[in-house]
Structure 1
């Protein structure tokens, strides 16, 4: 293998020309594509970070809204419970008032019936007294007969009840 200076120089010049040609036609576009790709990736990373920040803000907002809705629903439940308790108390009070009124009416009716019964007994006692007096006046009574008449009268009063 022999090396000639002319061949080496020719190869060196061809190699350098190829390098320049490759740099001009291949490397420039590849670098431009790489720069474009780098810018695209950087913009995607920036967009992703911005989206993540936006979603984080939205998540916080949603958590606040959820807490607000929970508080409002709890307040509504408590308000409904207190309203139900108030209505229950009102219903119980109305029922108590109604039962008191019914008891009062029943007591008045019992009192009236009692007075009617007493009046009826008085009338009956008066009738029996008149009947006893008429029997006494009809015949002469000795103490033994009088005692028998009173016993019979008491039996009649007892049977009529």
Structure 2
């Protein structure tokens, strides 16, 4: 086997011409497409990273909103309990006031009835005194025994 230099140079020139043609018309556009693809992939990765960060931020905001909603619900429940307790206390106070009013009214009615009974009793005592006086006059008792008799009847009526 022997080496032919002329064939070697022709192949080398053909290879260089082919390489020049490929780099000018094939490699340039191919590398351009590959660079565009690399940039596109890079942009998608960056977009994906931004989307992930936004999703994490939204998740954090949702968790905070949920926590705030729970706190508000707890506050509303506590406020409702307080309001219910206050209303129960108010109703109890109103019931006690009404009971006291009814009791006072009953005491006044009793006092009025007692006063009426005492007045009626005094009228009867007066009528009895007149009757006693007429009987005393009939018997002609002295003044001292008349006074004792009246005091005795007044004590019975008063007691």
**TM-score category (smaller protein):** 0.5 to 0.7
98-107 or 122-131, larger mean C-alpha shift: 122-131
**Among candidates 78, 96, 102, match of residue 106 of structure 1:** 102
What is the CA deviation profile of residues 35-55 of structure 1, one whole-angstrom value per residue up to 9, with x for unaligned ones?
101000011001101111111
Please list every run of 5 or more consecutive structure 2 residues that lacks an aligned counterpart in the other structure: 1-9, 136-159
- Give CA deviations for 1:54-111 in whole Å, capped at 9, x if unaligned: 1111111111110111011101110111012112211211221122122112211210
Instruction: Report the counterpart of residue 90 of structure 1 in structure 2.
Output: 86
Aligned ranges 1:12-27 → 2 under 5 Å: 20=17, 24=20
Report the aligned-residue RMSD.
Answer: 2.8
State how many pairs are aligned. Answer: 123
Tell me the TM-score normalised to structure 2 length.
Answer: 0.65
After superposition, what is the alpha-carbon deviation per residue over 1:5-61, rounded to whole angstroms, capped at 9, x for unaligned?
xxxxxxxx9xx98x94x7655762222111101000011001101111111111111
Match of 1:72, SS state, is helix
What's 1:42 paired with? Answer: 38
In the other structure, the counterpart of 1:118 is: 114
More relative contact order, 1 or 2 (CA 8 Å, 6+ apart): 2
Q: Distance in 2 between matches of 1:51 and 1:45?
A: 10
